[in-house]
Structure 1
């Protein structure tokens, strides 16, 4: 059963690992990689990556990407979202700290942030325009 708008947005605010997919080049299948992301209900999706990575280059070329976030324990639930890139900017200390804080224990965030090379990171922002979602109910 599809999730309501409120339920799918609430699900995306949880710190799941997303599978990001972007159109590849040279006749290859789409590039699909795991990413940490940030989302506020009703807003845009943000993630960061090395600006020289293949992922960043393909996103810049395609101008859009999709993300799949799922929970595999009962009940199985997923949200898939696709949309255009509305900005790509050098990552700020605030961006890095906010996203790291979603995924790491509080006592690990500062060390992670200090150990990151902020100068090579880019933050991509996507405006969701296509959504798919489902909660398949209790399994078993």
Structure 2
């Protein structure tokens, strides 16, 4: 893919798979994630601190880099893999969360999803921002 093609592909509403390096002697952790990206910009996503997320967030902070893979679900196969460096960890605004959620679900579901994330007193939501630094891609429809 050209630079423009891969950036436009990443900007599409694909579910990403985020991989974070494991600790010493541990395999990397990979999880599906919703994200947003505009060509030439940064990748943003949010996660709650329930379950295993706190350890994953600490690993991201320690490593400073992650890998995000997105693929076309239908034939012909295509994918973009981005190695990205962490540039910010901050509490998100509800609007930032809605911007991401709206890419993947209808408005009423997006609103409910964000309200549920923010309304759980045991859940601290974190917005992660990454800068793409290295790209790999393939689109078999154009290769």
Question: Do both share a fold (TM > 0.5)?
Answer: yes
The two structures, once aligned, show a CA RMSD in angstroms of 1.6
Paired with 1:51 and 1:44, the residues of 2 have a C-alpha distance of 22
Segments of 5+ residues of structure 1 without an aligned counterpart are none
Segments of 4+ moved more than 2 angstroms = none
Point out the more displaced range, 113-122 or 15-24.
Answer: 113-122
Q: Aligned residue pairs: how many? A: 136
Provide the TM-score with structure 2 as the length reference: 0.88
Query: Residue 38 of structure 1: SS of its match in structure 2?
Result: coil
Deviation at 1:56, TM superposition (A): 1.1
SS of match in other structure, 1:68: strand
**Number of the residue aligned with 2:17:** 19
Q: How does 1:1-140 map to 2 (within 5 A)?
A: 3-51=1-49, 53=53, 54-117=55-118, 120-137=124-141
Q: CA deviation at 1:51?
A: 3.8
**Cα distance, 1:38 vs. partner?**
0.5
- By how many angstroms is 1:82 displaced? 0.6
* Structure 2: runs of 5+ lacking an equivalent: none
- Normalising by the residue count of structure 1, what TM-score does the alignment of the two structures yield? 0.90
The answer to whether the 8 Å contact 2:48/2:117 transfers is no
1:131: Cα distance to partner? 0.1
Give the superposition deviation at 1:84: 1.1
In the TM superposition, residue 83 of structure 1 has moved relative to its aligned partner by 1.8
CA distance in 2, matches of 1:21, 1:112: 23
In the TM superposition, residue 89 of structure 1 has moved relative to its aligned partner by: 0.5
Hey, what's the Cα distance between the residues in 1 that align with 2:27 and 2:3? 30
- Cα deviation for residue 26 of structure 1 reads 3.2
1:107–1:50: structure 2 CA closer, same or farther, 3 Å change rule? closer
Distance 1:104 1:73 in 2: 19
